[in-house]
C-alpha cells in the first residue's frame, strides 16, 4: 500500500442516474489505466452495484460507508461484510465521525465491525479525530506544551487504542487511519499544515508503539473540508498518505483535480 490514497465519501447523496453519471465522468477524466495513486469511491449502499459496474475495468476501487459487526442474522436494516464483498467492495469506512456523533456509534461497536471486516477480507479506513470542544479544552487546558499535546491527542489515542488493541500485527497492513478533526468535516474550516503534521506525527508514534514491526508503515490520511484550493498544502505535509474527501468528491471536476494533485 505505498501509493497515496484518495477516497471519495459520497455520504447520503445521489440517486442511480446521478451516481452513474459521476462515476462515469471520473473514469473518463482519469482514464481506465490511471494508477498514480489509489482512488476509492464510497457511494451509498443503494448504488454500490451501479457504481461498481461503471468502474469495473478501471483501477478505481469500491468501498462502503459502514458495515455491521455480525456476519448474518436477525439484524433488520443492517449490512454485513460478506454482503459488501458480494456487492464488489474491497474497502469499508469504519467509525466515521458522523456515525460516532450523529448515530451514537461506540468504540466497542467500531472494534467489532473492524475485526469482523478484516477477517472477511475487507480493507479498513478507520476514522478518528477530536471534536471542536475537545480541541478548545486542550488549548485552554494547559500552558505546558506537553500537557496540552497530551490533552489534544487523547481522543484520537483512545479511539485508536480501543479499535486496534491486541490486533494481530500482520492485520495492520489492511488498515488505513483517517485523521479527521470533527470540526473540519463539512464546515469549510481547515486544519493548518502544522496542526495536521502534529497529529499525524503522534498517530505514527502511537502505531509504532502498538505495532513495533509494521505500525510505522500504516497509511494515515487527512480528511476535513479537503478542496481543490487546499489540497496542495495538505499534501505538502510529509506524514499525509492521502485524503478522505466528502463534499468535493460529489463534483467530477473537483475530485479529478484533487486526485491529480495527489498522484500527478
**Among 24, 82, 88, 247, which residue sits at the site for ligand PEP (rule: CB under 6 A)?**
247
Q: How far is the CB of 226 from ligand PEP (least distance, A)?
A: 5
Determine whether 96 is an active site residue: yes
- Contact call for residues 75 and 47 (beta carbons, < 8 A): no
Size of the site for ligand PEP (CB under 6 A): 14
What is the sign, positive or negative, of the torsion defined by CA atoms of 70, 74, 77, 80? Answer: positive
By CB under 6 A, residue 246 contacts ligand PEP:
yes
By CB under 6 A, residue 245 contacts ligand PEP:
yes
Q: How far is the CB of 26 from ligand PEP (least distance, A)?
A: 16
> Which H/E stretch holds residue 68?
none
Q: Residue 71 and residue 56: Cα distance in Å, rounded?
A: 26
Give whole-number Cα distances, 251 to 18, 190, 202, 264, in Å.
Answer: 11, 19, 33, 19
Kindly write out the interface string for residues 165-194 of this chain, putting x where it contacts ligand PEP by CB under 6 A and - elsewhere: ---------------x----xx--------
Q: Which residue in the list 105, 130, 180, 200 is annotated as catalytic? A: 180
As given in the structure block, the three cell numbers for residue 28 are: 473518463
Q: Which stretch binds ligand PEP (CB under 6 A): 49-57, 158-166, 204-212, 244-252?
A: 244-252
Alpha-helix runs per DSSP H in 31-175? 48-55, 81-86, 97-101, 107-120, 132-141, 145-164
Q: How far is the CB of 247 from ligand PEP (least distance, A)?
A: 3
- Using alpha carbons only, how large is the chain's radius of gyration in Å? 18
Nearest residue (CB) to ligand PEP, 32 versus 132: 132
Phi and psi at residue 16, to the nearest 5°: -50, -50
By CB under 6 A, residue 138 contacts ligand PEP:
no
Positions annotated as catalytic residues are: 96, 180
- Name the site residues for ligand PEP (rule: CB under 6 A): 9, 11, 180, 185-186, 223-226, 244-248
Amino acid at each position: 500500500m505505498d501509493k497515496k490514497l484518495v477516497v471519495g465519501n459520497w455520504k447520503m447523496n445521489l440517486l442511480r442516474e446521478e451516481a452513474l453519471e459521476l462515476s462515469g465522468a471520473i473514469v473518463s477524466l482519469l482514464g481506465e489505466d490511471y494508477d498514480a495513486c489509489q482512488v476509492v469511491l464510497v457511494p451509498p449502499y443503494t448504488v454500490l452495484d451501479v457504481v461498481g459496474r461503471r468502474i469495473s475495468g478501471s483501477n478505481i476501487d469500491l468501498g462502503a460507508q459502514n458495515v455491521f459487526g455480525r456476519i448474518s442474522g436477525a439484524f433488520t436494516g443492517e449490512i454485513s461484510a460478506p454482503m459488501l464483498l458480494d456487492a464488489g467492495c474491497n474497502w469499508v469506512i469504519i467509525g466515521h465521525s458522523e456515525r460516532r456523533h450523529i448515530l451514537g456509534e461506540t468504540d466497542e461497536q467500531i472494534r467489532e465491525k473492524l475485526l469482523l471486516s478484516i477477517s472477511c477480507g475487507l480493507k479498513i479506513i478507520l476514522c478518528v479525530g477530536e471534536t471542536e470542544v475537545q480541541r478548545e479544552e486542550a488549548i485552554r487546558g494547559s500552558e505546558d506544551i506537553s500537557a496540552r499535546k497530551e490533552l489534544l491527542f487523547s481522543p484520537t489515542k483512545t479511539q485508536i487504542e480501543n479499535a486496534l488493541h491486541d490486533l494481530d500485527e500482520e492485520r495492520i497492513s489492511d488498515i488505513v487511519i483517517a485523521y479527521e478533526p470533527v470540526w473540519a468535516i463539512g464546515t469549510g474550516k481547515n486544519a493548518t499544515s502544522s496542526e495536521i503534521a502534529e497529529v499525524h506525527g503522534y498517530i505514527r508514534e502511537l502505531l509504532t508503539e502498538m505495532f513495533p514491526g509494521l505500525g510505522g508503515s500504516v497509511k494515515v490520511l487527512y480528511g476535513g473540508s479537503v478542496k481543490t484550493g487546499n489540497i496542495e498544502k495538505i499534501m505538502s505535509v510529509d506524514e499525509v498518505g492521502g485524503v478522505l474527501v466528502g463534499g468535493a468528491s460529489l463534483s467530477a471536476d473537483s475530485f479529478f483535480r484533487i486526485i491529480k494533485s495527489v498522484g500527478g
